[in-house]
Structure 1
Amino acid sequence: MVRQQHRSIRLNIVVLLYLMVCFVLCPVSAITVSSPAEVHSVRGDAVTLTCTFTSNSRATSRMSVDWSYRPQTGGPPQAFFHFSSLAFHPQDGQFNGRVKWLGSPARGEASIQLLNASLSDNGTYTCSVRNPPDVHGSPTSQTVLTVMPKVPAVRFSDVAVLLAFILLPSTIITLALLARMCCPPKDKSQVQGYHSPIEVTHGEEPGFKQIHHKEKNMTCCDLYLLDSDDDDYYTHKPRPPAQGETMAESQC
């Protein structure tokens, strides 16, 4: 009786030591899933929801991936995509026909792409990966998606048209006004009647400019020449009649 008790105690000790050695030396199967905390997109674009995983066991046909969605307004998560050897796309709901599988289990990829993003897609997306016998670790990861309205883009051709029809005429008008302010037009009478004191026009001498200008309607019979040493101008003086001539005016 005593011997049996000793044997039972020894057996329990051996089993306990074996379990302790196995716990220390044998690695524990675990899986880790990771994804970006936030993703931003524009309405109408295709947004990629990235999900990667690492596992101590090779991915087999028993590995599975699940994607779920919780609206921004709150509520329970809604599963909309499942992968297990094959991809099972949603058949109804807001994600119908809008989910594309981008994963590759052999490379640790479990990503999907959401086509034609809309403002109603804002919310939290959860990626869950299971790869038996991995039973420990972090098998899920979450991403918050924010879809923003699309801002109309200004094309280069639009800018060129605006420059051509608005800025160019305004520039021309401004230059014309500046030129008019800096260079005012001369009086036409001054332009026609003024000559430089140095300039001598054809058929005109400097000493006779004022005479021709003021008395161009006088006749040659009314002029006589003064002494050339005084350098004076011709003046008007009536000629006295000669002897034997009548007092009648002569028109030369």
Structure 2
Amino acid sequence: MSQGSGDSGSLVFLAALLAALGLSPVLAIHVYTQREVYGTVGSHVTLSCSFWSSEWISEDISITWHFQAEGSRDSISIFHYAKGQPYIDDVGTFKERMEWVGNPHRKDGSIVIHNLDYTDNGTFTCDVKNPPDIVGKSSQVTLYVLEKVPTRYGVVLGSIIGGALLLVIVVVALVYLIRYCWLRRQAALQRRLSAMEKGKLQRSAKDASKRGRQAPVLYAMLDHSRSTKAASEKKAKGVLGDSRKEKK
């Protein structure tokens, strides 16, 4: 057997051993972006891109952004970072509206698009390579550029919202005021009823006391009346007896 055959057999055996252990000779790099980003015409938007690599960030790291316009099948390169320097491609309309805000040592490959327009609608792809960690899948984010709300409409909308909030505040204040007046009236009525009940009790007590004082007087008058009546009857009987004696 030749030496070349022995070397190839060793490589096959090593690959089989790594596969059996669940290991890979090259670990994949992972790239992350948002799925969707929204902006308005004339504003700016940040396209965030972060990544994870099992290797130290080397000087050979590269970050590339591609753009595929909405409804188009072609993708163009709009940004490239390599050898520690950012490069904005001259192709397309982003060359004077793009800003590099990433930091590879912080595992950040973000860019900013200024002065957005409807032609910016589409899909942006971020791809990162960190040799020897070069195997991985890029990540995509879709940008939606919406119509900018005119200032006068914004003012009108703000006025409507402010008026609605003011109306809600007035209604709530009226509800609390009505409830306060009702509770105050109920409290006054309760105090009045309590005073009336108290007055009735006092008058009842006075009447009972008065009747208690008048009872002995009435009893005395009744006794006197009975005594006087008895004396009169006795006197009348005496007179009648005398008259009968005279007749005899």
Change (3 A) 1:69 1:13: closer
Q: Which residue of structure 2 aligns with residue 57 of structure 1?
A: 55
Specify which of 63, 77, 84 is matched with residue 79 of structure 1. 77
Aligned equivalents of 1:151, 1:77: Cα separation in 2: 31
Aligned equivalents of 2:143, 2:109: Cα separation in 1: 17
Deviations 1:61-87 (A, max 9, x none): 111111111111213101111111101
Change (3 A) 1:69 1:25: closer
Q: Which residue of structure 2 aligns with residue 70 of structure 1?
A: 68
Aligned equivalents of 2:5, 2:136: Cα separation in 1: 35
Identity of aligned residues (%): 30
Deviation at 1:21, TM superposition (A): 4.3
Change (3 A) 1:70 1:159: same
Deviation at 1:136, TM superposition (A): 2.4
Deviations 1:30-83 (A, max 9, x none): 101111111111111110001111111111111111111111121310111111
What pairs with 1:26-175 in structure 2 (closer than 5 Å)?
28-84=26-82, 85-91=84-90, 93-138=92-137, 140-153=138-151, 154-155=154-155, 159=159
* CA RMSD of superposed structures (Å): 3.3
AA aligned to 2:96 is: G
Maintained 8 Å contact 1:81/1:89: yes
- The alignment partner of 2:119 has SS state of helix
Q: Which residue of structure 2 aligns with residue 205 of structure 1?
A: none
Deviation at 1:137, TM superposition (A): 2.8
- The alignment partner of 2:56 has SS state of coil
Change (3 A) 1:96 1:17: closer
Change (3 A) 1:43 1:13: closer
Deviation at 1:15, TM superposition (A): 6.4
Aligned equivalents of 1:70, 1:93: Cα separation in 2: 11
AA aligned to 1:148 is: L
Change (3 A) 1:70 1:12: closer
Deviation at 1:93, TM superposition (A): 3.2
User: How many equivalent residue pairs?
Assistant: 156
- The alignment partner of 1:80 has SS state of strand
Deviation at 1:135, TM superposition (A): 3.2
Task: Identify unmatched segments of 5+ residues in structure 2.
Answer: 164-248
Q: Which has the higher helix share?
A: 2
Aligned equivalents of 2:65, 2:8: Cα separation in 1: 46
Deviation at 1:159, TM superposition (A): 4.3
Change (3 A) 1:118 1:26: same
- The alignment partner of 1:106 has SS state of helix
- The alignment partner of 2:136 has SS state of strand
Which of structure 1's runs of 4+ aligned residues deviate more than 4 A? 8-23
Deviation at 1:114, TM superposition (A): 0.4
Aligned equivalents of 1:10, 1:145: Cα separation in 2: 54
- The alignment partner of 1:120 has SS state of helix
Aligned equivalents of 1:98, 1:14: Cα separation in 2: 54
Aligned equivalents of 1:92, 1:108: Cα separation in 2: 26
Deviation at 1:12, TM superposition (A): 8.4
Deviation at 1:131, TM superposition (A): 1.1
Q: Which residue of structure 2 aligns with residue 179 of structure 1?
A: none
Aligned equivalents of 2:6, 2:90: Cα separation in 1: 61
Aligned equivalents of 1:16, 1:71: Cα separation in 2: 45
AA aligned to 1:130 is: K
Deviations 1:147-168 (A, max 9, x none): 0011124349x949xx9xxxxx
Deviation at 1:11, TM superposition (A): 8.9
